[in-house]
Structures are given as structure tokens and as C-alpha cells.
Structure 1
Amino acid sequence: MKVVMVSSGFKECLDAEEVANAMKNGAMRFDPFLKTDVIPMVDGGEGFVKAIMKVKKGELIHKEVIGPVGDKVLSYYGIFTEGNKRIAVIEMAAVAGLKMVPSDQRNPLKTSTYGVGELIMAALDMEVDKILIGCGDSGTSDGGAGMAQALGVRFLNDNQRIIKVRGGEDLLKVASIDTTCLDKRLQNISIEVACNWTNVLCGDKGVARVFGPQKGAAPEEVEKLSDALEHYAALIEDAMSINVRYIPGSGASGGLGTGLLAFANAKLFPRFDLIMHFIQIEEKIASADLVITAEGSLDAQTPNGKIPCEVARIAKKYSIPVIAIAGTVGKGAELNYKTGIDAFSSIIQKPVTLEQAMFKASKWIGDSVESILRQVTIGLKMADRKERVFAYGKKVGQV
């Protein structure tokens, strides 16, 4: 039996490679000689840059930039060469991710993507030919306005004075947008963005209402943020004749997708489709007898482009069973059965606090994989016994 294990990160707990190692440990406890292929996978969020650099043997470059709450933070981006082109890779989670926002300051009305723009500028200074940006695990909802300011965009009030947008709520103070000082180099470079294709900027399913509460916004703050992003969309339409409200991916990372589309001449892509170009996994999945995948949370949002369901869709092309494990199993998790996941379970073994669960996560991931493999082996033994009984009965003329 060959088992392919595809891991993603457990947000604010373990990155994809750490989850992969834990899964591998569990499999080896079951059988040290088991044929396995372990693939740490990223969806544009935490670990995106390092995963691409590992595959492409690129260079990691550290840079101090402005973090989501206005403090200086040490972030990074990567550069690798493909053919005769230099490609920079930026991960918004490494500069404005939720884990970079202190728990007592989590309010998307007041967090900024300014540092993302600084990393883009740093990449431009390195004279790269293309920039790949991963959108995921964000702690911001400023529509990418912070990033835009770092690129040279100016937001003006009614008196045509520059406003410093340092969070989603500041968008309500903006009367117009001036792009005359936008860095001209952006016109001559390709920027591709790996994002959640189902996220849109505005409306009932807009990023403020869907993800605002996860980033610390109270109900009244969610509505204020929704109004601010609608106002922002109207300003962009006036300035650039682009209706960004419902463009697929426009709501990615608190609307960073919108900012990249409108101001950085970027192209948005479903994150898994773009990432598959750099991390090839289909051939490995196709060779498996069983696929086990892992995700921090499995719920109604998982089918919308998250790794377990994308892995399951590939596996089902080859009629390979898929089992998913998760830190938490949330509302609507049963929808994942329709995507090709055959079974799923939580790694949690007993009632614990969140902090305790995070501390135990690595061990419990390994325990879950070992348990799955033992249960699968029981099934195989039952099937083998049934086949032998059938063959015996046929031999003696009973069937």
C-alpha cells in the first residue's frame, strides 16, 4: 500500500512542513516500511514563500517593513530564477497576517497592508521580471489601500489633502484617489496573485461580512467596514473605471486582491491553480492507494478552494479514497463529502483549551494518521478474508 499525505498549515499553530512531519511520524509508527510520499502544500497563506523557495531552490531575503498595526517588523520575500527570468515571491501573511496582529489589537478597521507594498517596491528594486503574491491568512481589511500608498497612490479628502489610510475605517474619509505618483515600473512587470477565487469585496458575501468577525470585528464594526469597502469600490470606479465589487478574488486577504488588481496591474488566479504550476502533486497523488490530507479547520468554507478539497478533486480523477484530518470540524463540514473527501475527523482527543490543543497538535496529528492507517488495514483484512471465503466456497461448490 502506498499512502500520499498532503498537508496544509494549521493557522497560528503549525506550518505545512511541520504538519507534514507530524503526519510522517504517525505513519512510521504504524509501519516503518510503509511506502509514503509526504507533500507540504500551501494555499498562498503562511509558509507560501518558503515552500516555493524550497522547491525552486531560491533565495530568501529579509527586510524590515511596517507591520499591520504600524510597528516595524522583520519580514521577507524570495527570489528564484526560472529560464532567464527572475521571479520574486511575496507572502502577505509574512507581513500583514493575522498572527502578526496582537490578540488585543485585532480589529480590521485599524490594520494595514502598507508593508505588502514595501515588499513589492523592494522586489522592483531587485529588477525582477515577475512577482508572485500569495494572499491568505490576512489580519487586514483595508482593500489593499495601505499597500497602494506604499506604491505611490495618494488618497485625498474633500479639501484635496492627503489622508494616511491605516485601516479599513479610514477609507470612509477618502473623497478621491490620485494615481499620478504610482510607481511606473508596475506597468512593465507581470504580477500574479494566488487568491481565494470565491472571495469578493462587497455585498452580503463580501469580505467584511464573511471574514471580519474572524479578524476581531464586532457586529457594528463589520457593518462599518462593509460600508467603507463599498465606498472604496465607488472611488476606484470613479478614478479608474473598474467595477471591482464582485470580481472573483477581489475580496482576497481583506480586499488586498482589489488593491493589487486596481493599482498594481495584477492578475488574480484561483490559488490552487497557480500554486500547482510551481508545486506539482497530481502525478504523486495518481500513484497512491490512499490519500490523507490535513487542514486546521474543516467546515463549509473548505470546498471554496482550500487544500483538502482541491486534493480530493485530483484524487477522484483516479478513484483514490481520501481521508481528511482537521484541528476543528465546524459547521457545514458535511459539504466536503461532495468534493471527494470520503471521511474526515478531528485530531482532538479530549476537551482542552485552545492553547493546550495547539501544544498537543503535532502529537495528535501523528496519532490520527496512525489510527487511520490501522483502521484501513482492518478493512483490507476484512476484504481479504471475504475474498478467501468466497474463493473457498466456490472451490467446494457452495457458491
Structure 2
Amino acid sequence: MLGGAGILLGVAAAPAQAAEVSYATKCVPPAASGLDPVEGTTKVEITAPATAKVGDTVDVVWKFVQAASKNPDLIDLPKDSVQPSGTLKATGAQSADIAVQGPRQNPAIPKGGAMVLSDMKGTLKLTAPGEVTLTPDAYSINAYSTDTKCTPTETVKSAATINVTAGNGSSPSTSPDPSASASASASASATSTPTASASESGSGGSAGGDDGGQSDFPGKEVSVPYQCKTPIGDKSATSPVQINAKKDGGSYGLTVQFKKSVMDSPATIPAGSVKPSMEVALGGADKGTVHVEGPANTKEIKSGDPIEIPDLTGTYKPGASGESTLSPGVLTVEALGTTTTCTPAKSAVSLTLDTTEQAGGAAGGGSSSGSGGTSSGGASGGLAETGSDSHSTLKALALVAGTVTLLGGAVFTFMPRRRMR
């Protein structure tokens, strides 16, 4: 973080100066957030040496004195999940764009709490004698793999001036902080268009007639188009799901798996902060729903590590005799203090069973009396990545259910507010 080995080559021993400047700013959230651009005020402090000589490489520091708003009342931001980057303009005796960036280092920021952004650092090699002024320019705030881009909407006053004395200079150059380069993360899109697949109209895996002692009934993978209610609005996405059953007397143990590859975590997710569940929809001879759920994540998921969603399990006690169907139903994911609820836009039968009515079974309109279970230790599925593949899958729900990917662009929605210290 010293800004390059050039700092060791003899920066003049001069006192550093720190100057504060504020300016009107327009911030554009990622397209995935569905939010309009907003305006606010940025207040920063720029620190640089008061004097130096040609040939020196000097450190410059951008400190956020005041962010344009508090953290919106949408989601708690985990510790070390936010990273700022930006550009300082050098003018006067020499002109250069100085790339500055801060570490992904912040305290946990609660909903409605004051934004805390790390100091951004960069370096400048001085190439000509005279006064060099430093002026803050555009910057980005990266969280959950998305960028909110902020640009000045007025002429910004210079924040610091370096008096450069003669020396052995060289051609103008800017040396970026070697610890990190300016953020160039593409905005993550968590919205995908539901696309019906041929498997949706199929009858799914079937266990018809006399089961002949069969106990395991694998279902059929079906693509389910979901309409999701998230803390930042309505979203649509599609995910492949499979329902399997294991007969136990007159009842069935159900396991619901989300198929295909999982996504990498865009930020560190604390243990015990994510809890998925589903209401499996019954049809055919039987009616009602069966509640299945998965355990909360037992370990912290570090940024960049794969996210895996556990199997959702529960018990189905038939309430009718005949051919009964099971389809993925309403999916609920509680994560980081928020709830996302997704309802299938189209029914897709994954499994058909030849059932026998049981006392206190599901037939009617309510949930099955069977209780939800925990992961049985079988193969874990994962909500697949949203992308241009044929599934256009449910990254919007990838474990964090709209609180990470969908809200990544919303947590830095800058609202017009009075200045706060």
C-alpha cells in the first residue's frame, strides 16, 4: 500500500497537506437493480505532499469524509464487502489521471446506517517543475460484484497543490497502487427472462400401479419460471428443479434439488444467515402442499468461494388414493435479514406417485402434516448461474435470494439527503 517502490527513491521530506472539497454528484446504480440515477453530495479530503521535486513519486490519498447517503433500509452490508475506486485529475505543471483505489475494508453496515468507505490511494510521478493541482473526479463503489458509478455534475474545486521544484524528470506517467488496480467489475445482472422448456409440459418421473416393493422414486428435472418478489422489486428468472421421493410406510420422504452449477459468492456471507424453504404443490388425486426446507449455512462462505444450496427435505403424507403429482411450488429464501418469495409462473410436474390415502394426509387445501427435515447428506444441488446459456437460470436466488446479487446494486442507491458528519 505504499504506492510503489518509487516511494523509496527519495520523496522530499515535506509536510503532507490535507484539503477538503465537496461537490454535487450523480450516481448510476447497476441496471440489474432497476433503480433510476440519483443525485447527492460527495465530500472528500485529498492528502498529498506540500512540496516535492521532479523525479519523485508521491503518494496521494482520497478520504471519504461524507458519503452521499446512508445505507438504504434494504440490507445489512457484511464486513469487508465494499470497495471504492476512482480517479484524481492532476493539472498545472503536468497533466495526468491518477488511479486510486481503497481496500475492500469496512465495518458491518446495518440497514439505514452511515456509509463507511475505505481510504483510496494512488501515486504520481512528478515530471515537471511548477504547481501541480489535484482534483477529485469520478468514482465507483463495488459491492456484490456490481458497480455504482458516480460522476461530478459541477466543476469541482482543486483539493491539493504540490509545489514541484526542479530536478531530473522524465516523461509524464502515473503509477497505480500496486496492491490493486481500479475496479472494472461488470454489473451483475440478476434478471433473466423465463423461458419454457419442453420438460415443463412432461408428466415427470412416475411410480404408477403396484410399486412391487420399490422404495426410491426419482423425479424428472423440470425448468421452473419464477416470478420473484424481492426487497427491491419484482424479478423473473428460471431454474431447473428435481423432486425425489423415498417411500416410508404409507408416507414419502421428499428431497428437492436445484440442479446445475452453483455461483461463486460475491461477498463473505456469515454462517447461519441463509435459510431456504419451499411449498411443494400437489395435484392429480391429492391436493394441498408439502413444506420442505434446507438447513441454514453452517459455515461462513468467503468471497469467491462456490455457493451451494442444500437439499430441501420434508415428509409427504398422502391425503388421497390415486395418481398424485408433485411440482415445485412457492420458494422462500430468508437471507441477511430480508425475505424473497418466488412463485412459479407455470406449473411443472417433476414426480407422479401412485398414492394411498393416509389418516391426516394432505388432501384438501392446506400443507401436509409432515414436518420439514434437514439435509439427508445426499448430493447437493445449487441454484445455477444466470447467463446466456439455454437455462437462463436462477442466479437471482443463488443462495442469497435477491439479497446479494439483486441488492448488490441497490445498497449504494444514493438518495438526496442533508449533509451528515
> Shorter-chain TM-score category?
under 0.3
* Structure with higher strand content: 2
Is the radius of gyration larger for structure 1 or structure 2? 2
TM-score, scaled to structure 2: 0.22
TM-score, scaled to structure 1: 0.23
* Structure with higher helix content: 1
